[in-house]
A and B are shown apart, each in its own frame.
Chain A
């Protein structure tokens, strides 16, 4: 089969709703888009561990501490699974885990805007679970129909775990909402900090070129605006039910169309933060990752050496 025929065949399969497996032929552009998406998703999960990790030693009850520990572990686990996928896809380029992690530290792969921000109170640690994981469920559930089967399968598990995380966040948030005035104030403060970044989280109204190409290949099937609307529609009543206010007067639903209004987030600010790692906590968290990865390369080298030695002994 010639290149053109293979391409036509590939697009026909996708159009008819068939899924692509790791060993199937795929266009180079399709592979590159997948690597870009899954790599970014994977490192975002890993960087997403840090804002909450800070709160594990400070968690105010035994149960919260156990739950938060498990949640942060899950996020690292998602990162690990997703990087395994990205490693598979990157095999033709001869790039493995070390290279994919180096990309993060060298600024060649970006992570979600929300993980560049500070989480200054215990309420922030709860709101991250409630709003950020809640938002992630919406974007990830939309990828369950992805044309790339291994990604869709993995997302099924990830979304199931994220919904536990959201319930954990909801439980923390609920305790604060039902608590003392100072706890309620702390919660409102955190909501005020995270609302606008969450509007950015779903991306610009008009989608970029690679997002459009991903729609073309059915790697993703929903627009940014559809996902953002879903989020607002889900969270406005939830936050109001907690007696909390939405920190944006423009959040109103058009009774005729059902479309929610919202104030545009500072697109330039957040884009700059993601692109240049210049958010309030971007560098400190990248430094933690660097400490783990680059700072402990000696451990991984030792393990590789020891394994080689044991293999020789076994042979």
Chain B
């Protein structure tokens, strides 16, 4: 495999695994909204978005398998919580629709910045995949950006719920920007734009503009995380999620399903 000069396979794993796990977990929580969205039309749209995210996760897991990780099925169904690298905020149980919109808008902005950074990677298969993925993600971002605006200007209740949702999320967004290790290795890969301070500043700028336009007060910089999902430090919510996810499969780990 040729993954570009200077970079080790383990660097690529460290780069791709958090992305893969974010996409899988966000899609899993998203799929819990099936049949429960505020109207049938949104049920359809949101389900398509979550299916996209699952497809993206599968693409990344397949790349990880090429780098020596187990097959995607085992990576998804066979890991204990401490081996997951997703951000903690994504494993939390769903809030109301306003909080879901806020979370997905925050995540989509972050994912957009991250994909922009990743598109400069020197590994062709990753680059090719990202090109396709970005086409889909731009719709996801547009979708939740529109929802964000509608709830912000809709009614006093929708605005109140949106602000509450933002408040509930804000303190726990920190590890979204982390890579679980010092950023020096990113420089070696020529991916400085993905380093924690750079991507966080870009995110705060974009989200700051959005909040300002909506007349929602800026909650201040996102605090440093107290624990880091990128290091496998997770809440009980991830264990609970994985228990549900593997419930059928665990009845017979070697059976075909």
Contacts and interface: CB of A to CB of B under 8 A. Distances in A.
Most chain B C-beta atoms within 10 Å of own C-beta, residue among A57, A83, A302: A302
Main secondary structure of the interface of A (DSSP, over half): helix
Given A49-B35, A57-B28, A57-B244, A302 B51 contact: no
A306 B252 contact: no
Contacts of A304: 154
Contacts of B34: 49, 53, 56, 69, 72-73, 76
A62 interface: yes
Contacts, number: 139
B180 interface: no
A58 B47 contact: no
B55 A305 contact: no
Most chain B C-beta atoms within 10 Å of own C-beta, residue among A65, A69, A83, A299: A299
A291 interface: yes
A298 B161 contact: yes
B157 A306 contact: no
Q: 4 tightest CB-CB pairs across the interface, nearest first?
A: A302-B154, A302-B158, A299-B38, A60-B257
A79 interface: yes
A220 B41 CA distance: 29
Contacts of A61: 73, 77, 249, 257
Interface residues of B, number: 46
Contacts of A56: 31-32, 34
B97 A299 contact: yes
Interface of A: 46, 49-50, 53, 55-62, 64-66, 69-70, 72-73, 76-77, 79-80, 83, 97, 122, 172, 175, 178-180, 182-183, 288-289, 291-292, 296, 298-307, 309
A50 B77 CA distance: 24
B47 A73 contact: yes
Contacts of A303: 38, 150, 154
Interface of B: 28, 31-32, 34-41, 43-44, 47-48, 50-51, 54-55, 58, 61, 72-73, 76-77, 97-98, 149-151, 153-155, 157-158, 161, 244-245, 247-249, 251-252, 255-257
Contact of A69 (B41, B54, B249): B54
Contacts of B256: 175, 178-179
Contacts of A183: 252, 255
B47 A72 contact: yes
A237 B77 CA distance: 35
B38 A306 contact: no
Contacts of A79: 40
Contacts of A179: 252, 255-257
B248 A60 contact: yes
Nearest to A47: B35
Contacts of B97: 296, 299
B43 A306 contact: no
Contacts of A58: 244-245, 247-248
